[in-house]
Amino acid sequence: MAMPITHYLRTSKMPHIWCAGCGHGMVLGAVLRAIDSLGLDKDQVCVVSGIGCASRAPGYLDFNTLHTTHGRALAFATGIRMVKPGMKVIVLTGDGDAAAIGGNHLIHAARRNIGIATVCFNNSIYGMTSGQYSPMTPTGSYASTAPYGHIEEPFDLCELVYAAGASYVARGTAYHALLLSKLIAKAIATDGFSFVEAITQCPTYYGRRNRMRTAVDMLKWQKEHGVPVASAARMSPEEMVGKFRIGELGTRTRPEYTRRYAAIIEVAEKGEAERDA
């Protein structure tokens, strides 16, 4: 435990592709500190991603890593987890990857309660394709495809995933990095499906268009708008307008999917053995 972070990095694959000031590296740091705090065996960790800036993270990580197609990371991860239920399967995904093209896989993975920990790097925008709106883009903000201001409402992803059946749901930010790392550690340690929304910044395509010129402006925004769940509980709805809760948002105990399937195998194999006897 308490290995240097480079223990988990493929340093030879650096420098990374991310812009200066991008929050994705901060979130990734939190992921690695979480893994380190759990003392996981690198050979038994599998990190799966979709497509996008966030989804480039696995390439820099010294685990079994899989960079898939846009939106489908959870479906690939489901196959891995089914075959290797002993492995820790972690999905790293962007807000577009998870909530738009991959939204269906997200709610179904949660419904099945399959043992996959998902970290969604939510920068409220499609970074990789240079700034189109995502399902997480706030109403009224600007994107290259919302030049007149965005007219859609974003999801509350955590509520969505919890309602779909996840065992553990939490939200953190790149600014609250220590908290984020603790939440991710809890998510990875969860037996069923777990989900952490990590609010992060894309200064290049979101910040500049939305009157937050620098990464520092955006981190300040995270600091000022993220309210710990305990404080939020004491605040009125009016006080919470425009703000969001950070911390653990939902936990429950439900049977994990691959365990349930293992029970099916036991019954079926027994039936077969009896038939052959």
Partner 1 sequence: MLRKAGARLMQGNEACAEGAIAAGLRFFAGYPITPSTEIAEGLALLLPKVGGRFIQMEDEIASISAIIGASLAGAKSMTATSGPGFSLKQEGIGFAAYTEVPCVIVNVQRVGPSTGVPTAPAQGDVMQARWGTHGDHPIVVLCPSSVAETFTLIIEAFNISERWRIPVIFLMDEVVAHMREKVVVPDVNGIPVVERPRPQVSPDDYLPYAAGEDLVPAMADFGTGYRYHVTGLTHDQTGFPTTKRPEVDALARRLDGKMKKAAPHVTFVDELFADDAEVVVFAYGITGRAAAKAVRDARAQGLKAGLVKAKTLWPFPDEHVRRLAQRVRAIVVPEMNMGQMVREVERAAAGMAKVVGLSRVDADPITPDEILARLREV
Strands 194-199 and 116-122: parallel
Cβ-based nearer residue to ligand TPP, 53 or 246: 53
Q: By CB under 6 A, is residue 52 in contact with ligand TPP? A: yes
Residue 172, SS3 per DSSP: strand
State in angstroms the smallest separation of the CB of 128 from ligand TPP.
4
Applying CB under 5 A, among 123, 167, 200, 210 the residue interacting with Mg ion is 123
DSSP state at residue 158: H
- Report the C-alpha gap between 125 and 1 in whole angstroms: 35
Residue numbers 127-146 binding ligand SF4 by CB under 6 A: 127-128
State in angstroms the smallest separation of the CB of 85 from partner 1.
9
Which one of the spans 54-62, 193-201, 217-225, 233-241 is the region binding partner 1 (CB under 8 A)? 54-62
Q: By CB under 5 A, is residue 55 in contact with Mg ion? A: no
State in angstroms the smallest separation of the CB of 230 from ligand SF4.
31
Give the one entry of ligand TPP, partner 1, Mg ion, none that residue 264 binds, where binding means its C-beta sits below a cut-off of 5 to 8 angstroms depending on kind. Answer: partner 1
User: Which residues are CB-contacts of 237 (< 8 A; sequence separation ≥ 6)?
Assistant: none
- Report the C-alpha gap between 121 and 53 in whole angstroms: 9
Q: By CB under 6 A, is residue 95 in contact with ligand TPP? A: yes
State in angstroms the smallest separation of the CB of 75 from partner 1.
4
Q: By CB under 5 A, is residue 197 in contact with Mg ion? A: no
Which one of the spans 122-130, 166-174, 220-228, 251-259 is the region binding ligand SF4 (CB under 6 A)? 122-130
Q: By CB under 8 A, is residue 259 in contact with partner 1? A: no
Q: By CB under 5 A, is residue 207 in contact with Mg ion? A: no
Q: By CB under 6 A, is residue 51 in contact with ligand TPP? A: yes
Helix (H), strand (E) counts: the chain = 10, 8
Applying CB under 6 A, among 8, 18, 133, 155 the residue interacting with ligand SF4 is 18
The strand ranges marked E within 22-145 are 45-49, 64-67, 88-94, 116-122
Cβ-based nearer residue to ligand TPP, 75 or 87: 75
Give whole-number Cα distances, 70 to 29, 74, 223, 274, in Å. 23, 10, 30, 45
Applying CB under 8 A, among 31, 53, 54, 75 the residue interacting with partner 1 is 75
Radius of gyration of the chain (CA): 19
Identify whether 15 is preceded by a cis peptide bond (ω within 30 of 0). Answer: yes
Give the per-residue SS3 of 3-48: CCHHHHECHHHCCCCCCCCCCHHHHHHHHHHHHHHHCCCHHHEEEE
Residues that bind ligand SF4 in the complex, under the rule CB under 6 A? 18-19, 22, 24, 53, 123, 127-128, 202-205
